[in-house]
Amino acid sequence: MLRLDFKDLILFENEDYIVINKPAHVPSINERTADKSVSILRLAKEYSYDAQVAHRLDKETSGALAIAKNPEAYRHLSMQFEHREVTKRYHAVVNGVHDFDSISVFLPIAPMKDGTAVKIDRQKGKPAETVFFTLKAFRKHTLVECIPITGRMHQIRIHLQCLKAPIVCDPTYGGANVYLSELKRNFNLKKDTEELPIMQRVALHAYSLSFQLMNGEAIKVEAPYPKDFGVLVKLLEKNA
């Protein structure tokens, strides 16, 4: 079982809210299949009794996640999400070189029958919109900022696939792995060893979260890249 100290994850805290830098591979809420597995909700409640996760990140996704410490704060932030007053900025490393300058994708999304993935469905899908900006282009990859206007499951991932820019290490939506041997000249792999991808998960990170506190003050909390995402970006920069 993964051991985490909740205090080490905290980026911002006041009497109403906590914003953490969620590690990858940890679910936002308790999973049905595992009674005592680690989840952000379980850790948050151990830290603050009335804590509620105010929104969710996919299990594989790292980054900024807001937690309300009391019911009033939860309602206050929920209303901001409902009225689209919360700004979430994600960073993704995608396959291919792309020049996105405020490119908006507005395509409806519906869940697949098994519920583990989504598809574009113009008849039955729910409206979904994401705006994309290129932050940095490399030789064969691009660092992209993604701003979801709506909050559908896997929205960023499938919208990037529609732009022919699937996220690195995302086989569900066509994203290929990145190997050091592809980036580094004269790369030598040790004999009888299999090369692993640089990133072992979907290369998506919730970089910042902006919302209003209970007193009306606007805050923006940024979540530093975790080690795996940071290493990938540095290697792409170094070998660009």
Residues contacting 45, CB < 8 A, separation 6+ = 51
Torsion of CA 219, 79, 54, 49, to 10 degrees: 100
Tokens read off for 98? 């792309």
Pairwise CA distance, residues 180 & 197, whole Å: 7
Q: Would you state the structure tokens that stand for residue 51, as one six-digit string? A: 């804590």
* Annotated catalytic residue, options 58, 121, 170, 192: 58
Long-range contacts for 195-199 (Cβ within 8 Å, ≥24 apart)?
A: 197/169, 198/228, 198/231, 198/232, 198/235, 199/93, 199/168, 199/169, 199/228, 199/229, 199/232
- In angstroms, the CA 199 to CA 96 distance is 16
Say whether 58 is catalytic.
yes
Q: Which residue do the tokens 């909700």 mark?
A: 41
218 class by beta-carbon count within 10 Å (0-12 exposed, 13-18 middle, 19+ buried): exposed
Q: CA 7, CA 112: separation in Å to the nearest integer? A: 37
Q: Could you give the residue numbers annotated as active site?
A: 58
